[in-house]
Amino acid sequence: MSRTGSPNTPTTAPVEERIPFPHTDAPLPCRTNPQWFSHDKSAGAEEDITRAKQACRACPIAKGCLKWALFHPEATRVGVWAATTPRERGELCRRLKERLGENWAEAVARRDEAARQRRRQARWNPPPSRDTARQRALSRLELELIPSRPAPYEPWREPITPARAAANRAALARALNTKNAA
């Protein structure tokens, strides 16, 4: 893909499908000022390269752009991609080969796919929630709603029973005794 979104990958170079070109709807400097990014190392290009690198450092898709550029060296022989020049990308590829072996691209693609699977799974199966203070408070409130003692007598809802009448007399006697004692 070019900086403006139109395909320009050479048809002879195989396109690595496992690492797709990153997309965003945000206005990116590489799309608004492509002249800073697409050039070969010529006299007077240093200022554009510096400007392009600074713009890439604030880019939201720089990580994906760098992976794409490393996976597609034939399509990125010229210009600044993810704040790197062709020479810097070559050095990064060399280090990746030393660290991950000749098949570094496969290792990176597997790692990216595993991360995508974890994100996808987290969307469908969120991790179990931890016992928070709010949840503990809600549990206490639920316990309070469970009656642990008999409900007060409500004469308009239920008939008075002999046991209830005895309890009422005892409560009245206690109340009168405390008033007389005071």
Does the structure show a pLDDT above 80 at 153?
no
> pTM value?
0.56
Q: What is the mean pLDDT of residues 25-40?
A: 83
Tell me the three state secondary structure of residue 159: coil
Percent of the chain with pLDDT over 90: 7
**46 within domain boundaries:** yes
Span 154-181, pLDDT tens digits: 667 777 889 888 988 998 898 888 766 6
Domain limits for position 95: 29-124
Residue 105 lies in a domain: yes
The CA-based angle 166-169-175, given to 5 degrees, is 140
41 in a structural domain: yes
Q: Give SS3 for 34.
A: helix
Q: Does 181 reside within a domain?
A: no
The pLDDT assigned to 9 comes to 40
**Counted domains in the chain:** 1
pLDDT in tens, 85-137: 889 999 999 999 998 888 888 888 888 889 888 888 877 776 666 677 777 77
DSSP states along 53-100: HHHHHT-TTHHHHHHHHHH-TTTTSSS-BTTB-HHHHHHHHHHHHHHH
**Does residue 115 lie within any of the structural domains?**
yes
